[in-house]
A and B are shown apart, each in its own frame.
Chain A
C-alpha cells in the first residue's frame, strides 16, 4: 500500500527567549492510505505538534514531510492552505465551531475556501449532517446543540471536502462516555469506508479502536505497532512502516 504520509527525520523546536526547545526529535513515520492510527503519549510529549505537522499547519524545523508522495517543504503558505482546504480534515477536542453559523454553514466552511459554489456547499454539508443523524439540527447554531451534536457537526466539517486524511485531536476528550462511544463508532465506520484517520488521544478506548498506535515520548516515537484491539475495517492489518526515531 502506498504511503499517504511519510515523515523522514522530522524535528521541530521552538525558541523560548535565547533557548531552543526541541519538541520533536527525528521522527520517521509512514502512514498508508486507509490506516486508522492513534497517536498516544503523555502531555508534553509532542503528539499535538506532530499532528500540526501532519495537518500542514506547522512546518518541521528539519526533516522531510511527503504528502501523497509530494514533499511539502517547497510549498508556500497558500499551497499549504489549499492542501488543507482540499485534502485534509480536522476534528478538534473543543469542536471549534463558528458560534454564529448554523450547523450547515459550519459544516460547509472548508468548501468555501475550496471555491465551491454556495448551493453545492450547502447540499454537500446537508447530506453529511443528515448521514451523521443531524437532519433535525441543520439550522441550529452551536449553542443550541449538545456536545455530541457539536462534535458530529465538526466531523461533518472535516469530511465535507472528502479529504484524503482526517486528523482528530482528542475528539472524545470533551464528551461524556456514552457520547464518546457514539463518536468513536463514527470514526470506526469512516475507517471501514477506507478513510485514513490519525487521532491524537489519551484514551485507551480510542487507542484500542485504532489499528495502529504510535506512542510518542519526549518527541520521539517510543513504540509503533498494532493497537490493543483491531478494527475490522479493510485496512485492519497494521501498515507498519514507521519505526522509532533516533
Chain B
C-alpha cells in the first residue's frame, strides 16, 4: 500500500517522465522511424480490420432486419414415405384451404401468410418486362418488414374487397415510370389491370436470397394475384410469425399436424414439409460473422504485437545506450522502480505516438473505403468509437509488454557506472 507521500511523488514523476519520453522521441525519431512505421501499420490494421468486422456484423443485422427477423417459412416438398397406398416421392401442393387450416391450427403463430411467386410479363403502356410477381396475404407486410416509401402497402381490407391493387419494388417503379409518380397508374399482370398504390422502400442486397430481389418485384393481394398469375387456389409457401422464438418445435409440430391429414403425410414424414426459420439461419451465420470479426481482430493484434517486438528491441538498445544516464539518475535518487517506470512510459510514448498516427491512417482508410462506390454485397467498414478505444487498449497492452524487458535492463543499471569515466 503506497503512502500519500509516495502517491504524490508518483504523480509529480509521471508528467516529467512522459515529457522526457517525448523529448527522447523527438530527438531520435529518425533512427526510430522504421519501428514507428511498424506500429503505425499495426494500429492502422487493427482499426481497419475491426471496422471491417464491425461492418460485416452491421451488414448482417441490416440484412435480417430488411427481410424480417423472426419468421418461419414452410415450403412444399415431396413425400418420403408411403401412406394410404400413395407412393413416396409425391409432390405436396398447397392451396388456400391450407391457409385457413394453418390459421386455425397453429396457435403458436401470431401471424400466418401465404404467398405464390411467379415470373410473368408485366406491362405498362410504355414498357413490358418479365419479372417476379408475388401474390401474398397482407400479413406478409408485417412478417417481412415491408415498408412503403411512397403510397401504401395493401391491407386486409384490400384483400377482402378483392381490389386489384399493386405495390412495386423501387427499381421496377423506376423502370416502368421513370421520374413520374407511379401512384394511381395502371399496369397489366397476366393481362389483368392493377392500380399501383405504393412503392416499396429500397431493401437492396440481403442474405436471404443473396440478391436484391424485393426491389425488382410486383406485390399483389393474395387471391386477385393468384388469379392474375393463373395459379387458381394454389399457393407456394407459408410464413409464420411465432409468438415465442424459443418454441420453434411446438410451431413445427402444429404446422405438421394441421397439414398432414389433408396431404396424406405419414406421421414421421416431416421431410415432406421444408421448414426454415430466420433465427435458425441467423444463429450460425452470426457465429460465422463473429468468428470472422475475432479472426480479423486477432490478425490486427498479432500484426501490432510483432511491431511491439520491434519496439522492445529498440528500447533495449536505447536502455543499453543510456546506461550512463540511467546510472546518473540513480545517483540523483531514482529508485529502481522509477527507472522501470521511466522505460515503460518512454515505450508507451513511442507506441502511442506511432499508434495514434496508425489510428489516423486507419480512420482515413475506413473513410476512403466508405467513399468508394463498393458493390452492394460488400459490407463497408463501420467505424465505431469502441474500435478506436479497443485499438488504443491494444496499443497500451503492446506498449507495456514491449516495455517490460527494456525496463528490466534499466533496473539492473549499477549507479556506480556514473563514476566510471568512459
Decide: A113 near B24, CB < 8 A? Known: A57-B415, A90-B418: no
CB distance from A42 to the nearest CB of B (A): 16
CB distance from B309 to the nearest CB of A (A): 26
Q: Is residue B336 contacting chain A, with contact meaning CB distance below 8 A?
A: yes
- Across the two chains, which residue of chain B brings its CB closest to A174? B421
Decide: A112 near B16, CB < 8 A? Known: A57-B331, A84-B331: yes
Q: Is residue B375 contacting chain A, with contact meaning CB distance below 8 A?
A: no
Q: Is residue B419 contacting chain A, with contact meaning CB distance below 8 A?
A: yes
Decide: A94 near B421, CB < 8 A? Known: A100-B24, A115-B9, A116-B12: yes
Whole-angstrom CA separation of A92 from B5 in the bound complex: 30
Whole-angstrom CA separation of A117 from B8 in the bound complex: 9
Q: Is residue B371 contacting chain A, with contact meaning CB distance below 8 A?
A: no
Q: Is residue A86 contacting chain B, with contact meaning CB distance below 8 A?
A: yes
Q: Which of B325, B335, B416, B422 contacts A113 (CB 8 A)?
A: B335
Q: Is the CB of B419 within 8 A of A85?
A: no
Whole-angstrom CA separation of A118 from B20 in the bound complex: 14
CB distance from A94 to the nearest CB of B (A): 6
Give the residues in chain A near B420, CB-CB below 8 Å.
48
Q: Is the CB of B333 within 8 A of A98?
A: no
**What band does the interface of chain A fall in when counting residues whose beta carbon is under 8 Å from B?**
35 or more
Q: Is the CB of B333 within 8 A of A114?
A: yes
Within 8 A of B (CB), among A26-65: 48, 51-52, 55, 57-58
- Across the two chains, which residue of chain A brings its CB closest to B6? A115
Residue-by-residue, is B4-34 near A (CB-CB < 8 Å gives 1, otherwise 0)?
Answer: 0100110011011000100110010000000
Most chain A beta-carbon contacts within 10 A, residue among B13, B15, B330, B422: B330
Q: Is the CB of B12 within 8 A of A81?
A: no
Whole-angstrom CA separation of A209 from B334 in the bound complex: 32
Residue-by-residue, is A210-230 near B (CB-CB < 8 Å gives 1, otherwise 0)?
Answer: 000000000000000000000
Q: Is the CB of B330 within 8 A of A81?
A: yes
Q: Is residue A82 contacting chain B, with contact meaning CB distance below 8 A?
A: yes
CB distance from A103 to the nearest CB of B (A): 15
What are 10 A-B pairs with beta-carbon distances under 8 A? A55-B331, A78-B337, A82-B335, A85-B332, A86-B333, A93-B421, A100-B27, A112-B332, A115-B12, A118-B15
List the interface of chain A (C-beta within 8 A of B): 48, 51-52, 55, 57-58, 77-78, 81-82, 84-86, 90, 92-94, 96, 98-101, 109-110, 112-118, 157, 161, 169-170, 173
- In the complex, the 7 A-B pairs of residues with the closest C-beta atoms, listed nearest first: A85-B333, A115-B9, A113-B333, A57-B415, A110-B332, A81-B335, A96-B328
